[in-house]
Amino acid sequence: MRGCMRAGLGLAFIAALQAGAVTVTVTHTTEYQTIEGFGFFDNITPWTYRSGPFYITINLDSIDFWGTLANDLGASMVRFEVPPGYYPSAGTYNLNAQDGLSLTAAQQFAHANKFKAKGLNRFIYTVWSPPCWMKVGDICNNGTALESQYYGEFSDMLVHFGQEFKTTTNLDLYGISPQNESKWVEPYNSCVYTPTQLRDLVKILGPKVDVGLPATRIYYAEHMGWDFGYFENTVRSDAAALAAVDRWSFHGYSDGVAADPNSYTGVTATDKSIWMTETSGFTNWLDMAMDIHNCLYHAKVSAWVHWAIAGNFYDNSNGNKTDLWYAAKHFYRYIRPDAKMVAATSSDANVAASAYTHTGNSTQTLVLINRNTSAATINLSGLSGTFTIYQSTGITKDQNAGTVSGSGSFTMPASSIVTLYNGNITNTIRPQIAPATSSKMVNAASYRLHTLDGRSVSSVDRSVAPGAVIAVPLNADGKMINNVRVIVK
């Protein structure tokens, strides 16, 4: 099962394919989407291991689990659920409600702070069900509908939730979705809307988010890629609704459960960035790599977010990394937020190629997937500088296989993923700006100031010794001017 993988390209179909010399050409002057992040849904709970008759709980902090996800895997975006019990009755809020998919809101906020300390600071939230008492029949599951009389109050609740998140983490929510998979009746937390109903809700939600959460993006409508227009077209024909939506989003399934190998083909690039916010079901690591590639290369998505990380990217019983971890890492770790995808072509249809440049970090990335059953000689064109070769095969994962010049050649193993990377390894955007302060400690060699939307307010990189304290612009009230961020190079 593969969310965005093209039909007929699984390993079972290419057993006889052989590779020879392959020319990969990169054209930096042809730019596509800006990458916003790669991530997962956070269902993280402590795991245990057995020692004789006893089960020992592993302290995730003691093994730097959060840092491993942020700076080894390279995740730059985390998705959570807005628990329906957060708003148990009119005017009351409960951060400890236990009726969500896995974590309470309080636990989610605590996780966000742990990730933030490791440099990961883009968090998105999805509603699976509004509060039960706002819905037909007063139940959260089985797809019952939100009563229209509560659209305004429900929108106010989401704004309040985002404000509580910011109070606890000193971070703006990066994105919020009013509903997960609105077309499907499910036995778990779910809610069904018609395209018109969801449009009417987002028309109310949008202006409230603009005022109460001005730095938060509304992503819409988290339905299946093959049916991309079902909800989107109704919004496109309504100017107020279209203005309220900041990102289109879709899932890589056929029905909300089974992965769809052609889901991405229904998604067409528009004037709004596109996020793929959930997929799963991968049993082969190369299949998942191809899924990511196809979503980036063909659907031009700017964010790719897997379903639950526990039990997928790592074994929840012992914490061991799975092959899917390493397939994802070839993209997550080496394509940083704010990179741009640029044109890349391969002379062999069974060697997939996608390329990315990051002007702020002065890096170049090329990700190659060889689905042939023999090694390929890769001849590079259009690149400059020296690239480190990070290579994964069926035997070894994430191996540093040396270097190659941007106009050189190297041998790529059969059935493998290779990431070529030029530049210094850069973690997720960091550090966070402390509230109401005029200085910040920076543990990096240099930094650059940017506004919230990425436009630079300082065209010159500034050198700084690790641990140095730098000034950040504040207004008279101690608030940051124009939402300026410090971007560590």
- Give residue-wise pLDDT tens across range 109-139: 999 999 999 999 999 999 999 999 999 999 9
State whether 172 and 252 are in the same domain.
Answer: yes
Position 4 in a domain? no
| Beta strands at 247-251 and 217-224: parallel, antiparallel or unpaired | parallel
Give the residue from 287, 311, 332 where a domain finishes: 332
- Answer with the one of 332, 356, 389 that is the final residue of a domain: 332
Tell me how far apart the alpha carbons of residues 61 and 71 are, in angstroms, rounded to a whole number.
15
Please state the rounded mean pLDDT for residues 12-19: 49
**Per-residue confidence (pLDDT) for residue 304, from 0 to 100:** 97
Q: Give the residue with greater pLDDT, 336 vs 11.
A: 336
Whether 301 is covered by a domain: the verdict is yes
State both tokens at 69: 């996800």
Q: Give the lowest-confidence range in 173-177, 411-415, 447-451.
A: 447-451
Place of tokens 């227009």: 229
Mind listing the pLDDT tens digit for each residue in 91-101? 999 999 988 78
Closest of 212, 56, 42 to residue 116, by C-alpha: 42
Alpha carbons within 13 A on the beta-carbon side of 18: 1
Helix, strand, coil percentages, rounded to 5, for the chain: 25, 30, 45
In a domain, residue 1? The reply is no
Domain assignment present for 357? yes
- The answer on 313 and 447 residing in a single domain is no
| Residues 367 and 259 grouped into a single domain | no
Q: What is the pLDDT of residue 260?
A: 66
435 prior amide bond cis, ω within 30 = no
pLDDT exceeds cutoff 70 at 52? yes
pLDDT at 279: 93
The one-character DSSP state at 265 is: G
Q: Of the given ranges (157-171, 183-197, 248-262, 404-418), which has the lowest mean pLDDT?
A: 248-262
Residue 429 lies in a domain: no
CATH number at residue 359: 2.60.40.1180
| Structure confidence at residue 337 (pLDDT) | 97
- Each residue of 449-479: pLDDT tens digit? 433 333 333 333 444 444 444 454 444 433 3
Handedness of CA 287, 38, 398, 26 (dihedral sign): positive
Q: Which of 280, 310, 332 is the last residue of a domain?
A: 332
Tell me what pLDDT residue 417 has.
98
Indicate whether 54 pLDDT > 80.
no
DSSP 136: G
Asked if pLDDT for residue 437 goes beyond 60, the answer is no
Identify the pLDDT of residue 282.
Answer: 86
Judgement on whether residues 123 and 215 belong to the same structural domain of the protein:
yes
Q: What is the mean pLDDT of residues 250-271?
A: 75
pLDDT at 311 over 90: no
DSSP, residue by residue, 237-249: T-HHHHHH--EEE
Which phi and psi angles does 89 have, rounded to 5°? -160, 165
Any domain includes 372: yes
* CATH number of the domain that residue 94 is part of: 3.20.20.80
* 96 three-state secondary structure: coil
User: In this structure, are 81 and 209 located in the same domain?
Assistant: yes
What share of the chain in percent tops pLDDT 70?
80
Specify whether the backbone of 347 is left (phi greater than 0), alpha (psi in -120 to 50) or beta: alpha
Same domain, 347 and 225: no
Please, which residues have CB within 8 angstroms of residue 408's CB and are 6 or more apart in sequence? Answer: 380
Q: How confident is the model at residue 235 (pLDDT cuts 50, 70, 90)?
A: very high
Q: Are 129 and 140 in contact (CB under 8 A)?
A: yes
Residues 86 and 149 in one domain: yes
pLDDT at 475: 40
Taking a C-beta distance cutoff of 8 angstroms, is the pair 357, 32 a contact? no
Could you tell me how many residues make up the chain?
489
Residue 85 banded pLDDT, cuts 50, 70, 90: very high
Q: What is the spatial distance between Cα 449 and Cα 470, in angstroms, rounded to a whole number?
A: 11
> Would residue 463 count as lying in a domain?
yes
Q: Indicate whether 222 and 146 sit together in one domain.
A: yes
CA–CA gap between residue 45 and residue 27 (Å, rounded): 44
| 51 vs 400, higher pLDDT | 400
Alpha helices in 178-277 (DSSP H): 195-212, 229-236, 239-244
Is 233 in the same domain as 322?
Answer: yes
Q: How far is Cα 144 from Cα 146, in angstroms, rounded to an integer?
A: 7
Structural element, H or E, at residue 117: helix 105-117
Number of domains, the chain: 3
Element (H, E) at 268: none
Rounded to whole angstroms, how far apart are CA atoms 347 and 10?
Answer: 19
Q: 227 with 145, same domain?
A: yes
Q: Residues 171, 432: contact at Cβ < 8 Å?
A: yes
pLDDT band for 45, please (50, 70, 90 cuts): confident
* pLDDT for 262 beyond 80: no
**Dist CA 11 CA 5 (whole Å):** 12
Q: Is residue 133 classed exposed, middle or buried when 0-12, 13-18 and 19+ CB atoms within 10 A define those classes? A: middle
Report d(CA 439, CA 287) in Å as an integer: 46
The CA distance from 437 to 434, in Å, is 6
User: Would you say residue 433 lies in a domain?
Assistant: no
Cα dihedral 203, 207, 208, 212, rounded to 10, equals 150
Token readout for 155 is: 């929108």
Query: How much is the pLDDT for 444?
Result: 41
Most confident of 306-310, 340-344, 463-467: 340-344
Same domain, 374 and 298: no
CB 176 within 8 A of CB 162: yes
Host domain of residue 353: 11-28+340-422
275 and 406 in a single domain? The answer is no
pLDDT band at 258 (very low <50, low <70, confident <90, very high): low
CA dihedral 17, 419, 291, 15 (to 10 degrees): 20
Neighbours of 239 (CB within 10 A): 10
Q: What is the mean pLDDT of residues 338-367?
A: 97
**What does pLDDT average to over the chain?**
84
Specify the 3-state DSSP secondary structure of 70.
Answer: helix
